[in-house]
Amino acid sequence: MTDRTTTPVLEARGLSVGYDRHPVLTDLDLRIERGTVTTFLGANGCGKSTLLKALGRVLKPQAGEVHLDGAPIRKEPNRQVAKKLAILPQSPVAPAGTSVLDLVMRGRNPHQSWAKPWTADDAAVAEEAIAATGLTEVAHRDVASLSGGQRQRAWIALVVAQQAETLLLDEPTTYLDLAHQLEVLRLVRRLNREQGSTVVMVLHDLTLAARYSDRLVVLHDGGIAADGTPEDVLTPALLERAFGLHARVVPDPVTGAPMIVPEADEHDTFRDTRRETELASAGNLG
């Protein structure tokens, strides 16, 4: 019997994955521990979403395999995988006329069958997921009528209603303004801390990733360039190598987590020195 206390919830072993026989990631090993928030980072095209899809069995590996709870995920029935693993893809779109409640109820599909149709318990779980994501007041509104942050919370409510231990979130803050990004990431962190959810997500904002993650995995050049705590991973040397970014890493004044401050060049200035020179000349002429 598998020992859940020592077995990672997800594990990639010698994983190679890509598209049309062109590998994006090669011979990659990775463990996702239970009850943690792990964020994949890297430059565009490095394989962040590709790796997430492979972990969620959306994309078939070219070599190696993924284990879920210690067993090959490829051998698990779809319904069993869906009970353990919930996936939120990039920029999901709800069908026209779908209410928040209707959308979230779809998260119960893995728990239903011809012998066990929709029950009062399913309705209660959906309502709890809506409440947990702060959407009770808009539960009967069309998803399309919501703000960006509310829509994203509605999709997260769907994966919460699925009651899977592990959530895979592909760029959950895409197209959101900063206030809504914070709203979504605070919700993700709360699900992790209060419900024990294991979260694996893809983000682009390095500072927000450092603030809301236990662990960062940086992908570069077909493999893992760095893996560890935000403090260990986000160094100037790593930023230059993996992102081509010249930056300083300073403590976030609010949380103490690493904060990325790009180095300035001759075009980065907070003062219009040319205008100041013109004004000074005008004053001298007067």
pLDDT tens-digit map of 115-124: 567 788 889 9
Residue 42: predicted pLDDT: 96
Q: Give, for 51, the enclosing helix (H) or strand (E).
A: helix 48-55
Q: Provide the pLDDT confidence category of residue 278 given band limits of 50, 70 and 90.
A: low
- Residue pair 97/108 in contact (Cβ under 8 Å)? The answer is no
212: pLDDT strictly greater than 90: yes
Residue 276: predicted pLDDT: 60
Measured in whole angstroms, the distance separating CA 247 from the mean position of its chain's CA atoms is: 23
Query: Residue 92 to residues 15, 57, 80, 115: CA-CA distances in angstroms?
Result: 27, 18, 23, 30
Residue 9: predicted pLDDT: 95
pLDDT tens-digit map of 51-102: 999 999 999 999 999 999 999 999 988 888 988 999 999 888 888 899 999 9
The dihedral over CA atoms of 112, 57, 4, 153, expressed in degrees to the nearest 10, equals -60
Q: Provide the pLDDT confidence category of residue 273 given band limits of 50, 70 and 90.
A: low
DSSP 116: B
- Residue pair 55/168 in contact (Cβ under 8 Å)? The answer is yes
Delineate the domains of the chain, giving CATH numbers in brackets.
10-285 (3.40.50.300)
pLDDT tens-digit map of 156-205: 999 999 988 999 999 998 888 898 899 889 999 999 999 899 999 999 99
- Residue pair 176/186 in contact (Cβ under 8 Å)? The answer is no
- Residue pair 221/24 in contact (Cβ under 8 Å)? The answer is no
Specify which residues 227 forms β-bridges with: 217
The pTM assigned to this predicted structure is 0.86
Percent of the chain at pLDDT > 90 equals 66
2: pLDDT strictly greater than 60: no
Tokens found for residue 151: 């829509």
Tokens found for residue 128: 């709890």
